[in-house]
Amino acid sequence: MVQGPQKNGSVGGGGQIVAGVLAPHPPHLVYAENPPQNEPRAECGWEVLRWGYERLRKSLARKDFDVLVVHSPHWRTMTGTHFLGVDYFKGLSVDPVFPNLFRFHYDLKVDVDLSRAIHDEAQVMGLDTQMMTNPDFRVDYGTIISCHLTHPEWNKPIVAISSQGLARYFSNDVMQAVMVKLGQATRKAIEQSGKKAVLLASNSLSHRHFVVEPELPEDMSYEHIQNHSQYLWDMKILDLMKRGKGREILDLLPDFTEQAVAETDGGSLTWLLSALGEPTHPAEVHAYGSVIGTGNAVVEWAGPGQEVLS
């Protein structure tokens, strides 16, 4: 067992973050799982990462939680941070990059109250925010994939948060400063809500892809990290996670993001670490593996008073 920090008694409305998870969203993992919601069928593939998600699910099964809160780089917005603001979505999500792998029929509920609460807290902290209230909106595939792999029962509502494109507009440091505030707003809103939440940062680590795909996408003889420098960077970040060095990770993230072409440019990991209060307790790395050259890790931090099944 990996212990989370000591519980400091009830904060605000008694809500809490019971776990924070780095939950990457390669569509390949859903494709390889063959859930009934996904149209394409696979023979196998990316088992190490999928087994990592299995371990995560076992760990979360021991926890009582009400809602999944996910920050996704594939809902990219420039005009501030947006939040899903409709109770229910049903539709077909087709990945624009890997449509051959991911055509997923989703049916999900949104915790609009919590969504609005985080939105309002972020606004109070000076961030630009919007509620997304168009019922025809198609939920992004990053959100769907991370939620499905974490909790395939789909019996808990979600809160989905967009990724503001600040890293490219300004710099990784500016993005990080805003995402730290968003994380703080998220934690405060959850604590005041009285709800128990699992937070998902839906991103890969290093993110340089191969630009060609084998004829059989799940042919694992083609799968490896895109380059060694990415791998070294990924291991550096994972080592800090395992040693409970949340502050040091945040300090390194701008450089990591730039040099490993990392998907942390979307701010999801920064948001998560901030919401967790820059954790000083060790994270459990459930798995690490590459998907079409990118580096992906399934990592869990226990919330206050919680444990991670290791």
Partner 1 sequence: MITKAYLLPGMPHPLLCPEKNRGWGLLRQAYDKVRSEIEQSEAELILIYSTFWPSVIGHQIFARAEAQWTHVDEEFHALGSIPYRFKMDEAFGELYKDKCLARKLHARTVNYQGFPVDTGSVVALKLLNPENRLKAVITSSNVYSDRAETLILGKAAREALESCGKKAVALVISALSNRLHQGVIEPQTDRIHSLKDDEWNRKFLEFLEQGRLEDVAQLSRQFHREARVHKVNNFKPFWWLSSLMGQSNLFKGQVFEYQPVCGTGAAVVGLESAPVAARDLEFDETDPETYSGERNVLAPPVSEAPLENEAEAEGEVGRGV
Shortest reach from residue 191's CB to partner 1, in Å: 27
- The enclosing H or E element of 72 equals strand 67-77
Shortest reach from residue 245's CB to partner 1, in Å: 27
Q: Torsion angle of alpha carbons 185, 240, 297, 166, nearest 10°?
A: 40
Binding site for partner 1 (CB under 8 A): 75-80, 82, 92-94, 96-100, 103, 128, 130, 132-134, 136-138, 140, 162, 164-166, 168-169, 209, 211-213, 227-229, 292
- Indicate the residue among 60 and 160 with the shorter CB distance to partner 1: 160
HSE-up of residue 125 (Cα within 13 Å, Cβ side)? 23
- Indicate the residue among 128 and 278 with the shorter CB distance to partner 1: 128
Shortest reach from residue 294's CB to partner 1, in Å: 10
- Indicate the residue among 28 and 55 with the shorter CB distance to partner 1: 28
Shortest reach from residue 222's CB to partner 1, in Å: 13
Which positions ≥6 away from 239 have C-beta within 8 Å? none
- Indicate the residue among 59 and 176 with the shorter CB distance to partner 1: 176
Distances in whole angstroms, Cα of residue 290 to Cα of each of 25, 28, 195, 298 = 12, 11, 34, 12
Shortest reach from residue 280's CB to partner 1, in Å: 33
Shortest reach from residue 184's CB to partner 1, in Å: 20
HSE-up of residue 166 (Cα within 13 Å, Cβ side)? 22
Which positions ≥6 away from 10 have C-beta within 8 Å? none
- Indicate the residue among 57 and 76 with the shorter CB distance to partner 1: 76
Shortest reach from residue 215's CB to partner 1, in Å: 11
8 A C-beta contact, residue 16 and residue 301: no
Measure the CA angle with vertex 297, ends 293 and 303; round to 5°. 160
The label of the residue with tokens 């995560």 reads: 56
- Indicate the residue among 52 and 267 with the shorter CB distance to partner 1: 267
Find how far residue 201's CA is from the centre of its chain. 2
8 A C-beta contact, residue 191 and residue 16: yes
- Indicate the residue among 193 and 264 with the shorter CB distance to partner 1: 264
